[in-house]
Structure 1
Amino acid sequence: MTHRKEWRQLRQLLQWMLMVIAVVAVIFGIRVILGLFLENNSITGNSMAPTLQPGERIVSVKTRTLHRNDIVILHGPDDPKRLYIKRVIGMPGDTVQVTNEKLVINGQPVAQPYLKPAFMAAAVKLWAKQHQQVAEGVAFTTDFSLTSLAATGAARVPAGQYFVLGDNRRVSYDSRNFGFVKQRGIVAVVKWRYWPLNRMGGID
């Protein structure tokens, strides 16, 4: 009788251990599968303010299909070990320029609803204060064209490459500095903010 009881207890223990192993395997498998398609990132720096703020956490989808205005995670063209987060502005074949805060692509004005006038004014004022300059006359986005930028120096965005900018143009380090971004250098497209909870939701 004692042996039967011990065997029953041993069998229950083995069943419990197998269940734990199975659960761990499933969780591990799910994480691996999700890792093939999703990125989980935390925002550092202010280059995408006010759209994305430092400390916020986001989920991005790994894809090779990109559209204008997508917010993307990318390997720095100047430092592949670093990840940057920027907005796709210029698609392959596009001409891109900014004149008097107006974005012009292929000769046509393009709306920038993600640029908030109140934030732009505050960002210019802060930058001017930090650099001991008068805010009047300081642009949020300094005028440029692809040919005027030393980092690009081309009339159009090359095939298989993209021109990216940070939303906080006054401080962003982006294609104006490091040039075009090759498609293979783009890791994922940002889709969802899950932290903080009061700002949870899709991202445009």
Structure 2
Amino acid sequence: MRDLVKGTLKFAGVIAAILAAIAVVLRLTVVDVAVVGHNAMAPTMEAGEQVLIWHGTEFDRGTIAVCAHPENPGEMVMGRVVGLPGETVSSERGSFRVNNRARDTDWRGDVRFTDTLNNRTDTVKLGIESMGNHEHGIFHRGTQEFSIRDYEVEEGRLYLLGDNRFHRGNDSRDFGTVLAADCLGYVFMRLKPAEIPVNDLGHSYMDLLR
């Protein structure tokens, strides 16, 4: 019995060492860790969460890209890819459109959301938006209609939009498109939720993100 326990512990130690080695290799080659610095991507991500980024410069519609800020050297931006080269993004009556086609959204009702960076709590509309092969949550402020000016995405560039649609200042509505070649990669996992969660969004460790 004692030999069995020793063998089991030894095997577990070997597996742990292998996993640690794999993690180190990935960290040095194709994966980065980042801390979310704002709430523009809520409800998908919140400020203070740690996420994993897979390196690459090719993106599908709906992926969450991390790219160089087009106006501020040394800064990075994070947003969902909603417009690809040659496409036109726009809005009509509060509805987001790509090539004049509205995105399908399943509205789930009102929820309370607290932005911990400015200690402001709002009642927002929660919806599930379909985009390409992705379904993700979005926030709208009920008293504020979503609008976006018509924009044709240039060759080699991407239009990024935050899931928190009433949050301004951190997506292409304000700084324009980003150069795909200057992107670090895409977010694929929440490594760790915020230290002190305020909003009940069901976030936990090692969540796959879409």
* TM tier relative to shorter chain: 0.5 to 0.7
**Letter of the aligned partner of 1:201 in structure 2?**
D
> 2:187 matched to which residue of 1?
190
CA spacing shift, 1:120–1:75, aligned 2, 3 Å: farther
> 2:80 matched to which residue of 1?
87
Which residues of 2 match residues 77-156 of structure 1 at below 5 A? 77-112=70-105, 117-119=109-111, 126=122, 137-139=143-145, 141=146, 143-146=147-150, 154=151, 156=152
CA spacing shift, 1:40–1:136, aligned 2, 3 Å: closer
Q: Which sections of structure 2, spanning at least 5 residues, go unmatched? A: 1-16, 124-140, 194-202
Q: Is the 8 A contact 2:60 2:81 kept in 1?
A: yes
Deviation at 1:107, TM superposition (A): 2.0
Separation in 2, partners of 1:74, 1:112: 26
Separation in 1, partners of 2:168, 2:108: 16
Structure number with greater Rg is 1
Higher relative strand content: 2
> 1:38 matched to which residue of 2?
31
* Secondary structure of 2:81 counterpart: strand
Q: Is the 8 A contact 2:112 2:122 kept in 1?
A: no
Backbone CA RMSD of aligned residues: 3.3
**CA-to-aligned-CA distance 1:89-129 (integer Å, 9 cap, x gap):** 1000101112223121112112256x8653599899839xx
CA spacing shift, 1:136–1:35, aligned 2, 3 Å: closer
Separation in 2, partners of 1:94, 1:171: 23
CA spacing shift, 1:125–1:85, aligned 2, 3 Å: same
Percent of residue pairs bearing the same amino acid type: 23
* Secondary structure of 1:138 counterpart: coil
Deviation at 1:65, TM superposition (A): 1.7
- Is 1:165 aligned to 2:165, yes or no? no
* Secondary structure of 2:78 counterpart: strand
- Is 1:180 aligned to 2:172, yes or no? no
Higher relative helix content: 1
Separation in 2, partners of 1:168, 1:112: 14
**CA-to-aligned-CA distance 1:11-66 (integer Å, 9 cap, x gap):** xxxxxxxxxxxx9xx96x97466332111111111111111011111111011220
Q: Which sections of structure 1, spanning at least 5 residues, go unmatched? A: 1-22, 128-134, 147-153
